[in-house]
A and B are shown apart, each in its own frame.
Chain A
């Protein structure tokens, strides 16, 4: 919402400065977004007379002029404008002036050998238009030496406020003035708008053809004919104000409606009566109808849109945009002025469907003051009569203004209760009254009647807001909100705690945390088991951000590739975030995932004097996943690592982490080559992904005491075994068998060598393990050690079919 200072002062009698006004507006909730003060920006530019203009001796297109800028001293200026001539009045800028249209600051220069002390300017150079043809050519009576901004009426600062959608009353300069007056910045000028006396009834028949179900789409419609108007340009003052707020003056009748829209928040429409066939009717659009609007666009209408139609068809889209066919132009002599009330939701919906944003729509969808319908018509009629002449008919009115006033039972203590500030009752009453509320009652409770222009005020809390925003939020003093209880209790749920630990644990493994989009390309989503219809965005911001992600992996993998493309091949990235299996809250899972690309292993990446880092493999991903589980304190007693995973992983180089077949918690490994290709990935990349919500929590115990620590006094000892087994037997089974062979003594099993080749039969492999024995009661004898060894060999052999390597 924009307005000028002089415009505001039409409604507000004030001595406040522009700064005070701006500061107050922001303080009371009408946030000032900007102030444009052309008078300040254009201060150095003065009206000047060109005394002489002669051909430049060294340049065909240049002229050497002398200029009188008001002090009678001729100044020499080189000018390139074709229209520069002796005797003309133009605008002069001295050296040192900033030229906004050219973004330069002038200095004394020499142009083709002739000194130039300043510049004669075009409107474009002043940032005031796009007349690049030549310098400004002002009327002969323009006062030489006067600042141009003053002469041109540009000395009226323009204020723009960022209006919140709850304040339709402040879409009008008059409404803004009311708020400022309430805030103590002056007196609101109120002018009653007596009805216009028409000469005879409006000859154009009016019908509202809406059935009972749709009657509320147009509760009130008023129309008046003014005959014999001259529709020339509107007066300069009106044009200047409209231009100042960014509107293009068109002709007097149209300008008057635009002026009323901003001055009173009362959008109107004018039809050229000569172009209206028969009477006007308000009705719903019919399927297939369309309208060429005043905005130059063809609008296809649908059946829930309200239109104003005549014998020729639709002439205007209610409350949004008028039609080109019945618009007013210089030839208009009889004008129909429409002032109506429309349903805000219907207007919003129509505007959205048509994709039309107009000043009328903006106001109607927020709620135009119903009480302004008839006075608005009268005010507009008066402006038409003043500016264009003519004679008015009576107004024809259909419908009634709806009941909008509300009475709110308001205990004054409500201000203290909600705002925490004690204000004198008299002050609160004055605030409400100056905003147009009617306050009745003298006791603890008041009956507050809301004004017709404040549809946003519905209850007590709204009145508290009115009081405190005008009184000043800064008057409320901060009061501590004591913490309940004494020592702070933990505030995180176990999953929240795990989320935090997961991030730091993974970062501690050299991975960098990424935050990637929750939406990914449809094809990517499908590759990772997603892409379901319930997770596709109806209006994605870009076609490649279309589907809610089923997994963190595709986003991370693509991010790693982007880094590689930028020259950073060894990216190690992780993310902890939401994934989506359905649009229900239960379909959302919190996951942790990581990718390692190139040689970005745990120990480091790339070549190094101490040995180059190898290409990452599935075991790097497995190590990350297991480290994560360990750091999260997941009880891993029942954890199984089984070969294979979902279809997006390499079938032979991936694994699944599970607590039983029905309780899979994550996967790790290389991507399936087909998936890698589909994601445009080059180079090797390994991943893991774990569903944090699926991980078992430690059993809650009544004590924090740790189990007793037993430290045996006897030396542990280690025995090595090399088993030969089928190459497909998982080494994990050998380890598990060895661990289970003699639970009292076997304290650990490490696989220290895997070998296939000479000396091992075809199709078999050798797995060498070191078994650590920890005696607990006494040192073992050689015979006992031998017996345990036999047991281990027997157990491994029984479980895996392995034999000791000869």
Chain B
């Protein structure tokens, strides 16, 4: 197509050239030629036509080239007048060609751009890493781990299926004691000896496992699944706890208070949290306390570090001498404290889930709303929840 255009244009120009091959052309003829050429440049509607004009004028046998060749045969005087005229003609034709070429390129680009269009309002697919979610329980465990790691706590774990000994007896729950009934226990079928294993009712058996496996100083947190035979809006038969255990030669209630104050302040991400320690009872700690934190509740929103309501968040105490003895530690030599927090519960408090049951229902609408993005990794340097 384009080649054909060039050929046709050349044919047209050749006809004109026959009338301008006279070397002794008058200046008026030069003017005519120039007008003629500039008009052709202007008329060239695409790259190919323009190239044809260039060849006809400035090519080896072009009209302007032919004129330039005549300069050699002229007298110096003639050259003095004709030279600038012919060179001037050449420069102006060249300039016009260049300008026209640029204009054509510009127009071509404009035409292309006006044709190349996407509808940017069309939706793109949501990326995998923004669709995925981390369950609030995992997120909160990561938050808790970050806080306690900074205080030098390691993470210990233990099995969900426990012996009665580790879940109760070693933790100073005497057989038949009413304290056992505070724990609505799931039992597995009895074995040949009539012994029944239990689903651990708390993460505290891992205290025993840890103290029996390693010598003090001990500083661990123990997150994990726990089970109680209970089901209503705030209780599910399976839930999560994190236990803390510190054993050394000096750790006391004053240190326990500090650790828990640091923890609640960091976890709820407020500068100060007012706490209330209430004496309480757990068989495996003595003295024992429950801890309430002050908050305000408006609508469904809970704010910490202000208000007049008290919310119970954890139980704690000094590890009971019997528990230390059960782990082969002399209670006059070693001492320490333990605490236990409901992970699901503090997740609900911090992030405002009204009901515990949906935690375990895997409803994608709930996970999408209350879950966390995979790259929201809690850390103390970046702020736990960003």
Contacts and interface: CB of A to CB of B under 8 A. Distances in A.
A binds B: yes
Interface in A566-605: 566, 568, 571-573, 576-578, 580, 583-585, 587-588, 602-604
Contacts, number: 277
A476 interface: yes
B227 interface: yes
Contacts of B365: 566, 568
A608 B187 contact: no
A208 to B, nearest CB: 22
Given A419-B254, A515-B360, A460 B178 contact: no
B375 A31 contact: no
B286 A512 contact: no
A31 B364 CA distance: 40
A806 interface: no
B186 A537 contact: yes
A479 B258 contact: yes
B176 interface: yes
Interface stretch (B25-33, B66-74, B121-129, B293-301): B121-129
Interface residues of B, number: 96
Contacts of A366: 178
B12 to A, nearest CB: 49
Give chain B's interface secondary structure class. Answer: mixed
A348 B367 contact: no
Interface stretch (B1-9, B37-45, B49-57, B154-162): B154-162
A518 B135 contact: no
Contact of B287 (A418, A510, A516): A418
A478 B252 contact: no
B279 A469 contact: yes
B128 A465 contact: no
B374 interface: yes
Contact of B125 (A460, A504, A603): A603
Contacts of A562: 361-363
B253 A465 contact: no
Nearest to A533: B189
A519 B160 CA distance: 11
A461 B320 contact: yes
Interface stretch (B81-89, B103-111, B144-152): B144-152
A786 B217 CA distance: 68
A27 B181 CA distance: 25
Interface in B226-272: 227, 229-231, 237-238, 246, 251-255, 257-259, 261
Contacts of A462: 286
Interface string B306-331: 00000000000010110000000001
A508 B374 contact: yes
Interface in A441-485: 459-462, 464-465, 468-469, 473-474, 476-481, 483-485
A715 interface: no
Interface residues of A, number: 98
Contacts of A165: 177-179, 181-182, 281
Nearest to B124: A610
A484 B246 CA distance: 12
Nearest to B318: A418
Which residue, A420, A515, A573, has most C-beta atoms of chain B within 10 A? A515
A580 B161 contact: yes
Contact of B155 (A28, A459, A493, A518): A493
Given A345-B176, A491-B153, A538-B188, 6 more contacts: A365-B178, A464-B286, A478-B257, A479-B252, A496-B157, A533-B189
7 interchain residue pairs of minimum CB distance: A420-B254, A29-B279, A510-B128, A465-B287, A164-B281, A507-B132, A559-B362
Interface of B: 122-123, 125-129, 131-135, 137-138, 142, 145, 148-155, 157-161, 174-179, 181-182, 186-191, 196-197, 199, 217, 219, 225, 227, 229-231, 237-238, 246, 251-255, 257-259, 261, 276-281, 283, 286-290, 318, 320-321, 331, 335, 359-365, 367-368, 371, 373-375, 377
